[in-house]
Structure 1
Amino acid sequence: MTVLVLRLAGPLQSWGSSARFARRTTEGAPTKSGVIGMLAAALGRDRGADLSDLAELAFAVRTDQPGTRLRDFQTAHHADTDKAMPVSERFYLADAVFLAAVAGDDELIRALAAAVRAPVYLPYLGRRSCPPQGPLDLGIRNGDDPAETLRHEPWQAAPWHQQRHRRQASVPLRIHADATPADTGRAIGDALRDQPLSFDPAHRRYALRTVVSTTVEVPNPAFRPDTRPKSAQGSRVPAPRHDPAALLTPLPTQPPLDGP
Structure 2
Amino acid sequence: MTVLALRLAGPLQSWGDASRFTQRLTRSEPTKSGVLGLLAAAGGRRRTDPIEDLTDLTFGVRVDQPGRIVRDFHTAIRWQQKNRAGQSPSMPLSYRYYLADAVFVAALSGEQALLEGLEEALRAPTFPLYLGRRSCPAAGQVSLGLHDGELEQVLRRLEWEASPWYRHEQGQRVDLALFLDAHATETTPDTVTEVVRDVPVSFDPARREYGWRDVVRAAPVEMANPLGRARGMDFMAALGGA
Q: Distance in 2 between matches of 1:130 and 1:50?
A: 24
- Asked if 2 retains the 8 angstrom alpha-carbon contact of 1:152 and 1:218, the reply is no
1:49 pairs with 2:53: no
Instruction: Specify whether residues 70 and 232 from structure 1 end up closer, same or farther in structure 2 by C-alpha distance, changes over 3 A only.
Output: closer
CA separation in 2, counterparts of 1:97 and 1:67?
Answer: 7
**Counterpart residue number, 1:150:** 155
Single out whichever of 175-184 and 41-50 deviates more from structure 2: 175-184
What is the match of residue 84 of structure 2? none
Runs (4+) off by over 4 Å: 223-226, 228-233
Q: State the 1:79 CA deviation.
A: 3.7
What amino acid is aligned across from residue 129 of structure 1 in structure 2?
S
The corresponding residue for 1:220 is 225
Answering whether residue 161 of structure 2 is matched by residue 161 of structure 1, we say no
Matched, 1:117 2:123: yes
The one-character-per-residue Cα deviations of 1:179-225 (angstroms, maximum 9, x if unpaired) are: 11843525132111001111010111111111010212022242465
Q: Which residue of 2 aligns with 1:208?
A: 212
Q: In structure 1, how many angstroms separate the alpha carbons of the residues matched to 2:39 and 2:181? A: 18
Rounded Cα–Cα distance in structure 2 between residues aligned with 1:186 and 1:114: 40
Q: How many residues align?
A: 231
Runs of 5+ unmatched residues, structure 2? 82-87
1:91 paired residue among 87, 97, 100: 97
Contact 2:168-2:229 within 8 A present in 1 as well:
no
The AA in structure 2 aligned to 1:160 is W
SS of residue in 2 equivalent to 1:190: strand
Distance 1:24 1:232, change over 3 A: closer
Which is higher, the Rg of structure 1 or of structure 2?
Answer: 1
Please give the alpha-carbon distance, in whole angstroms, between the structure 2 residues aligned to 1:108 and 1:66.
30
From 165, 187, 194, the equivalent of 1:190 is 194
Task: Give the letter for the 2:99 counterpart.
Answer: L
Alpha-carbon distance in structure 2 between the residues aligned to 1:121 and 1:154:
28
TM-score calculated relative to the size of structure 2: 0.89
Task: Measure, in 2, the Cα distance between the counterparts of 1:63 and 1:99.
Answer: 7
Contact 1:155 1:219 in 2 (8 A): no
Between the aligned partners of 2:53 and 2:99, the Cα distance in structure 1 is: 29
CA drift of 1:77 comes to 1.2
Q: Is the 8 A contact 2:25 2:97 kept in 1?
A: yes
Distance change in 2, residues 1:137/1:221 (3 Å): farther
Question: Does structure 1 conserve the Cα–Cα contact (< 8 Å) formed by 2:169 and 2:229?
Answer: no
- Alignment correspondent of 2:175: 172
Equivalent residues in 2 for 1:98-137 (5 A)?
Answer: 98-137=104-143
Q: 1:231 to 1:213 in 2, by over 3 A?
A: closer
Secondary structure (helix, strand or coil) at the match of 2:116 reads helix
**Structure 1 unmatched ranges of 5 or more:** 236-260
Match of 1:7 in 2: 7
Q: Distance in 2 between matches of 1:189 and 1:67?
A: 23
Q: Does the 8 Å contact 1:8/1:100 carry over to 2?
A: yes
Shift of 1:86: 1.0
Letter in 2 for 1:4: L
Residue in structure 2 matched with residue 28 of structure 1 by the alignment? 28
Asked whether the 8 Å contact 1:17–1:27 carries over to 2, the reply is: yes
Distance 1:221 1:123, change over 3 A: farther
Amino acid at match of 1:58: T
